Amino acid sequence: MAKRQEENSVGERLKTIILCFLVFLSLVLTYRLWFGSPDYEVITPVSYERINFGETVSLDKLLLPGEIVYFHPQAQSYQETEISEGEFSNNRGYYQEEEPVNLRDSLSGYSSLWEAFNRELKKVHHINFSSVNEKEIKKDLNSLSEPSLQIHFSVPYALELFLPSGINDISFPLIQKIYFYGEETYMETVKRDYYRIDWDFNYAYFLSQAEELFLKQSPDFTLLNLLVEGNEEINSYLVTEEIAVLNYSPDLPDLYYQIEELDIDKLAKAFFIDLTLVRQIKERDEAVIYTDGQRGLRVNSQGLIEYSAPAKKHEPEVLSYQEALIKGIEYVTVYGGWPEILNLKITELSSLLLESEGFYRLKLNSYYKGFPIIFGYTPLDLVFNKQGLVSYQRQIFELEVGQEKSKVIGVEKALEGILNDLPELFSQKSSRKVTRCFLAYIPVQGVNRILRPYWIIEIDNYYRVLLNGRTGAVDKVITL
């Protein structure tokens, strides 16, 4: 009995000692919490690495005209000029009053004129503009005795972004068309307002480049109506317009494409900055998801990159079109960069509302040496506002150019192929009209990851016919 009491007494003392120690430790820690100061020397801030995937691309390589249109007043002396065999013939067709020559991308004339325009634009030191009415522009056009030129933009053109830095403080309206009439320049805005531009642009040089291109030998293009004017079969069923097309059968390679190789962890770090706060999930189809609970990045096995973030509301400041253009290009540079062989061009920059908030949508499509590559989807699609990205979709393929080139049939053979393979389109009495005609690269069905040239011919702005560029056989007909 006495032994048991002694053991209990020892246990009580031990508990008392432990309790006293805990009370003392609590007092010490409370004192340090209240009156102590942290050791700032050992606190190191989180370092954030600036991520990008290479250099950005010049804006004049991304925002291009939909077409460049050349006019030449009627000039009898030129019509009487003889053209020797082998030269670019049928020049007389260019000189009918108000009959334009339309140049689109993939033709060398288009690129050379656009480059000449940008070279002269960088030399401008003085610029101003004043309002005019549409009738004044039409009057000038009808009274012209010299060549003139128009630049039509499918995506609104922000002129001040391309001018030298010393004069870009002038706020210009967004431009849909630029008119060069003699020594006068006019612009038509997206709101259908008209202005005369007063500047020291070198008209003489720029229009001389255009005139030299159209009036002398041209290596690769002619007008569609002139090219087929002697073909009775085509002219019996089709009305052809003055569309600039290749006047020879080009040698073009096949293109092999593969999934874009990007450092996915680096891409995730570009989006989220601190990956320690991000959860990574692997799906059964080998797709990888990164998320911080609000934002999400998904990369699948086919190279499709999808990023989404909640739209922040009540943003008081709205991006201007010019700011959106620059910001969108920066996003592409940071979040994946620009491919080497494949060219990307802006095909849309438009404002839109999401939950009553203002955003911009930027789309870029892919090209190879001016020839569009048609995959059936938009390779780059961004939605953003001043606070950042809301949506980013990217699926770009890396290209490898085939070593062998094969001849592509000329447009005349392509039109004959339509007449032979689609007789049901021409059962009506009246002729159909060719409204668009161009070469493009399209994935070959049933063949793994090969792009081949196809003729895309639009009829009556309703039918789009895809013809194999090698054989001329109709592959598909799409109603627009």
Q: Are residues 386 and 469 in the same domain?
A: no
Q: Digits of tens for pLDDT over the chain (480 positions)?
A: 555 556 567 677 777 888 888 888 888 788 777 766 555 444 455 555 667 788 888 999 999 998 888 776 643 333 322 322 222 223 333 333 345 566 667 676 788 889 999 999 999 988 999 999 887 777 666 666 677 888 999 999 999 889 887 675 678 899 999 998 878 899 999 999 999 999 999 988 888 888 777 665 455 677 788 888 888 888 888 988 778 788 788 899 999 999 998 999 999 999 998 888 899 999 988 899 999 989 999 999 889 999 999 887 666 678 899 999 999 999 999 999 999 888 899 999 998 876 667 899 999 999 998 899 998 889 999 999 988 899 999 999 999 999 899 999 999 999 999 999 998 888 887 889 999 889 999 998 877 889 999 999 999 999 999 999 999 999 999 998
Q: Are residues 430 and 366 in the same domain?
A: no
Q: Are residues 389 and 470 in the same domain?
A: no
In DSSP notation, 50-111 reads: PP-SS----GGGTS--SEEEEE----HHHHT----TTS---GGGGGSTT--EEE-TTSHHHH
Q: Are residues 391 and 411 in the same domain?
A: no
Task: Kindly tell me the number of DSSP H helices and DSSP E strands found in the chain.
Answer: 10, 25
Q: Considering its fold, how many domains does the chain have in total?
A: 3
Q: Are residues 107 and 212 in the same domain?
A: yes
Return the CA Rg of the chain.
33
Q: Residue 249 falls within a domain, yes or no?
A: no
Q: Residue 10 falls within a domain, yes or no?
A: no
Looking at residue 13, its pLDDT comes to 77
Looking at residue 6, its pLDDT comes to 60
CATH at residue 418:
3.10.450
Three-state DSSP state, 449: coil
Provide the domain limits for residue 108: 59-81+89-219
User: The whole model's pTM is what?
Assistant: 0.79
141: left (phi over 0), alpha (psi -120 to 50) or beta: alpha
Q: Residue 44 falls within a domain, yes or no?
A: no
Three-state DSSP state, 373: strand
Q: Are residues 388 and 418 in the same domain?
A: no
Q: Residue 34 falls within a domain, yes or no?
A: no
Residue with the two structure tokens 């699609």: 381
CATH at residue 322:
3.30.310.160
Q: Are residues 261 and 392 in the same domain?
A: yes
Single-letter residue type at 285: D
Looking at residue 142, its pLDDT comes to 62
Q: Are residues 390 and 424 in the same domain?
A: no
Q: Residue 359 falls within a domain, yes or no?
A: yes
> Are residues 277 and 290 in contact, defined by beta-carbon separation less than 8 angstroms?
no
Q: Are residues 75 and 198 in the same domain?
A: yes
Q: Are residues 467 and 321 in the same domain?
A: no
Domain termination site, one of 202, 219, 236 = 219
Q: Are residues 394 and 422 in the same domain?
A: no
Q: Residue 100 falls within a domain, yes or no?
A: yes
Looking at residue 317, its pLDDT comes to 73
Q: Are residues 330 and 273 in the same domain?
A: yes
Q: Residue 438 falls within a domain, yes or no?
A: yes
Looking at residue 36, its pLDDT comes to 63
Domain termination site, one of 381, 401, 421 = 401
Tell me, what DSSP letter sits at residue 236?
H
Looking at residue 21, its pLDDT comes to 82
Domain termination site, one of 204, 219, 234 = 219
> Are residues 407 and 143 in contact, defined by beta-carbon separation less than 8 angstroms?
no
Q: Residue 378 falls within a domain, yes or no?
A: yes
